[in-house]
Structure formats: C-alpha cells, structure tokens
Structure 1
Amino acid sequence: MKTLLKALKRCAVAGAAALAVVSLQPVSAAQAAPAPVVGGTRAAQGEFPFMVRLSMGCGGALYTQQIVLTAAHCVGATGNNTGITATAGVVDLQSTTGRIQVRSTKVYRAPGYSGDGKDWALIKLAQPINLPTLKIATTTQYNTGTFTVAGWGAAREGGAQQRYLLKADVPFVSDATCRSYSGYSGLIAGEEICAGYAAGGVDTCQGDSGGPMFRRDAAGAWIQVGITSWGIGCARPNAPGVYTEVSTFASAIASAAATL
C-alpha cells in the first residue's frame, strides 16, 4: 500500500478513484474565498515570488532563475522535454498582469527514484525568469520548528485545483512519531521529513506535489527544507504530510543543476 500511495503522490492528475489515498502537498486553507491549501489562507501578491505552477498539475520553486526544483513523481525520465509550462509571477493563475510563462527544455529526475524516497527533480526552462530564487538547506539545521507550505492544490481531499496560491504553517513531526501513524511505518529516515498537526485540519493536498516546504533561516531569509511528496488523504488526524528532505540531496541537486 505504501508503494501505491507514493506512486500516486499528491499530483493533480490522480484519478477520482485514487483520491482517497493520494499524498498531501503543501497548500492553503479552505475558506470562503477560493484557496489552494487545506486550512490555509490566500498568499499576497509577491509574498513568495519563487513559487512556480507547473502545467502537469504540480508545484515547484525557482532553484535558479532558469531551473525549477520539484518532485520526481511529477516528471518523466531524465532528458530533453519541451512539454512542461512553468507559470510564475502571480498568485492568481487567471491574472495576466505580471504573469510569466516559460516552456521547459530538459528534465532531470533523481537517479534511482522508484517511488520510494529520492523524490526530487529539476526542470530547465527555455529562458530565465527574472524573479527571486529560493535557496535550499544544505544541513539539517533547519529541519525542525514550524514550516510554511504553499500551492495551488485542492482545498479539501478530493477537491478541485485552485485559482489562487494558498499558504499555511505546519509543525515538524519527528520520524518516530510519524512512523507510529497508520500507513507511515515505511517513512525513509534521512530522505523524508514529516510535518502536520495530530488533529489534522491543515495540510498540503492533491496538486501541491513538488511545491516547497520552507522556513526562515538565521538571517531571516526563506530557506527550503522540503519538497511536497506524499501522505494519506488530506488534513486527516494522525496523517501528516511527508516531504523530501532537501538537505540530504543538496549536493546532488547542485551537481545535477550544473549539468543542465
């Protein structure tokens, strides 16, 4: 079952019959206004300028101005790929003011990715996007505390993708606690990190896959510590979101980016 859950992840493309078991990704809250993350609030224009929406129904963040960091389960095999469109510069996907759309040229998927762990990938764009990038953690120093997640995914389990970027805060969950929950015994320590509330209510959801989980560093700047990967349902009690532990793969990500 764990392999099935991870294969489905929190992609927006999952079929209706699979929605009950897809993983949760960082998204905002369900409110009166349209929102993309369960239990989140709408992000302000320019609040997270590094956020990217990908045309296959996933999220991502600008690693460089020409490379997007996302989840491996969102992309195909490593190689040339011109079939992905990245949208950036807006929180409202229907807004044309400030919206930037760029096609992909190449994809790099983490070597050895098979649905369990190693859930990261890079997408090279046809041209740079002149927006701030999101630096990634290179040590485990920031792998605790409270994290921010954001995305255009569903505002409720099984719901539709959203027009507006939503944000939410979720607390770190230790490996031991995360593994104690039903369906999470296969958590891969050192490659995955859990975050969420035991009571549920706030989480990423379908369509948030590949988006960043981030927090402030010692200097007050945003730093990415996770990539939305999988989970059981969306915002259920005792079912936190699971994120790729970015610091583990920081060197590999940097090396791969240099080859694109």
Structure 2
Amino acid sequence: MKRIMRALRRCLAVTAVLAAAFSLPATDAFASPTAPASPTPVVGGKRAAQGEFPFMVRLSMGCGGALYTQQIVLTAAHCVDGSGANTSITATGGVVDLQSSSAIKVKSTKVLQAPGYNGKGKDWALIKLAKPINQPTLKIATTTAYNSGTFTIAGWGATREGGGQQRYLNKATVPFVNDADCKKAYGDDLVPGDEICAGYLDQGGVDTCQGDSGGPMFRMDDAGAWIQVGIVSWGNGCAEPGYPGVYSEVSTFAAAIAQAASNL
C-alpha cells in the first residue's frame, strides 16, 4: 500500500481533489495568471513558451502525457483504470494555456494499460484518441544511451504537495540520479531497470508533483531533437531533499510500447 500511495501522489487520484480541480469555474480551478510566480509548477520551474513542447498533452483525469503518435498518447499506467474501450478521457493539446481558445480537445476511444501492471514498475499506458492532434510527436528512447545528464520535465501540476492544478504549462530541469543513490532513498520500493531517478538529492527544490503523472521526462538526443527517457511516476513528497523523482524507464518498455501501439 505504501508504494501505491507514492505512485498516486503524482496524479489527482483522490476523488475529492480531482473534483475540486475540474468542477470549479475556470477562474478558480487553475492559478490566476497574476498569482505569485514563486514557487511555480513544475515545482521549482518556470512557464513554458507557447509551442516550446508541442507534444505535451493534458488529460482530463488529472494527468499529463506526450504524443507518441498524433493519435496515441503515452502516459502512466497508474493514471488509467485497466485496458479496453474508453471514451471518458479528454486530451487537451496544442497549447500552454489550458483556457486558450486554440486548445485542441479530443476524446479517447481505447486505453491500454501496461500488461502485468500491479502498482510497482511497468508504469506506462497508451490512450488512443478519436482523431489526431495535429502537433509534433515525441520519440521515445529505445536504448539506455540517453539515461544520463540533465532532463527536462514539464506539466500542469501543483506548485507544492497537495496544491492546486495550474492553468499554464511549466518546465524545469533535473539531473540524473544513479540507481544506487536512488535506492538509498527508496530501498526495495525502487525497481531498477523499470525505473530511472532524477532530481537534486542534497537540496531538493525542483520536481514534478500532483497532476504531473504520466508526463514525459526528456532531453536532447545526439541530433538535437527531443527524446523521451522517462514517464512521471512517483516519489516521496514533492521536491523534498534526499528524495528524487522516480520515472518509468522508457527504454525498458520501448519494444512493448511500439507493439501495443501498433495493435491499439
């Protein structure tokens, strides 16, 4: 149970929180554009520019995602409830501002949760959309070659643990944390090989938080293009010293994701 709660803290899994974020009027459900800028969500980040990360998608259950294809969103397994036909999810893309009149909103048709997912590892899922979102996609890492260095994280999640969701997409950068150091923080809860860690171990202060689950952790590849290395999964609190963020390691599941997408 401890592990499940850690995983869910990156999404709006608690019904009351989800209802509060999406049933309020637009002016209340998201932070005002004139609200204090510090801290910003992603925790310790700053607002992204329109078009900077066009592959980013906001999902109506309170998670993030990235366009794997223009009609398939890659997100976290803990954001969805099993596999099969599903028309209840709305994906919003093409904008930084969720209230923009230019926002592209598309309903889901099917969901595929990672086979064998049980709350520990294998934290990936695919959502097929009713029609394409005409935006650039984000390629995924197929080897561990990019599992190092500094990564970019982005999302519409909370400014702090337990905080409200945000109107504008925000971004931050976090450094790679090796398995040995991450395991010191999380012990046997960590699944090396399935998961990759990133964050500022000593000082904390920069991290994903509630509402960022399922969003991508990405970096530049050797050709200067964005490549997805991780999927926002879980962690202890938000941006706490000694506890890096834990992300599903995309390269581990790249072949399974590709196969699943081809059959979705």
TM-score of the pair, normalised by structure 2: 0.90
Moved more, 152-161 or 2-11: 2-11
Partner of 2:228: 224
The one-letter code sitting in structure 2 at the alignment partner of 1:105 is: T
Is residue 53 from structure 1 mapped to residue 55 from structure 2 by the alignment?
no
Partner of 1:25: none
Is residue 249 from structure 1 mapped to residue 253 from structure 2 by the alignment?
yes
Partner of 2:28: none
The one-letter code sitting in structure 1 at the alignment partner of 2:191 is: I
Per-residue CA distance 1:93-128 (angstroms, 9 max, x = gap): 1111x2100000000000000000000000000001
Displacement of 1:4 in angstroms is 3.3
Q: Which of the numbers 42, 47, 51 marks the counterpart of 2:47?
A: 42
The one-letter code sitting in structure 2 at the alignment partner of 1:113 is: Y
Partner of 1:5: 5
5+ residue gaps in structure 2? 18-34
> Is the CA contact (8 Å cut-off) linking 2:151 and 2:176 kept in structure 1?
yes
Q: Matched residues in 2 for 1:107 and 1:157: separation?
A: 28
Is residue 74 from structure 1 mapped to residue 84 from structure 2 by the alignment?
no
1:51-130 matches, within 5 Å, as 51-96=56-101, 98-130=102-134
Displacement of 1:33 in angstroms is 6.8
Partner of 2:138: 134
Q: Which of the numbers 141, 154, 161 marks the counterpart of 2:158?
A: 154
Question: Per residue, is there more helix in 1 or in 2?
Answer: 2
Q: Matched residues in 1 for 2:39 and 2:181: separation?
A: 33
Secondary structure (helix, strand or coil) at the match of 1:185 reads helix
Alpha carbons of 1:9 and 1:117: their partners in 2 closer, same or farther (altered >3 Å)? Answer: farther
Q: Matched residues in 1 for 2:15 and 2:263: separation?
A: 35
Q: Matched residues in 1 for 2:250 and 2:36: separation?
A: 30
The one-letter code sitting in structure 2 at the alignment partner of 1:36 is: P
Number of aligned positions between the proteins: 246
> Is the CA contact (8 Å cut-off) linking 1:16 and 1:158 kept in structure 2?
no
Displacement of 1:12 in angstroms is 1.8
The one-letter code sitting in structure 1 at the alignment partner of 2:140 is: I
Q: Matched residues in 2 for 1:133 and 1:44: separation?
A: 17
Higher relative contact order (CA 8 A, sep 6+): 1
> Is the CA contact (8 Å cut-off) linking 1:80 and 1:106 kept in structure 2?
yes
Q: Matched residues in 2 for 1:165 and 1:253: separation?
A: 26
1:191-206 matches, within 5 Å, as 191-198=194-201, 199-206=203-210
> Is the CA contact (8 Å cut-off) linking 1:31 and 1:41 kept in structure 2?
no
Q: Percent of counterpart pairs with the same letter?
A: 74
TM-score of the pair, normalised by structure 1: 0.91
5+ residue gaps in structure 1? 18-29
> Is the CA contact (8 Å cut-off) linking 2:215 and 2:232 kept in structure 1?
yes
TM-align CA RMSD? 1.7
Alpha carbons of 1:253 and 1:139: their partners in 2 closer, same or farther (altered >3 Å)? Answer: same
Q: Matched residues in 2 for 1:222 and 1:4: separation?
A: 30
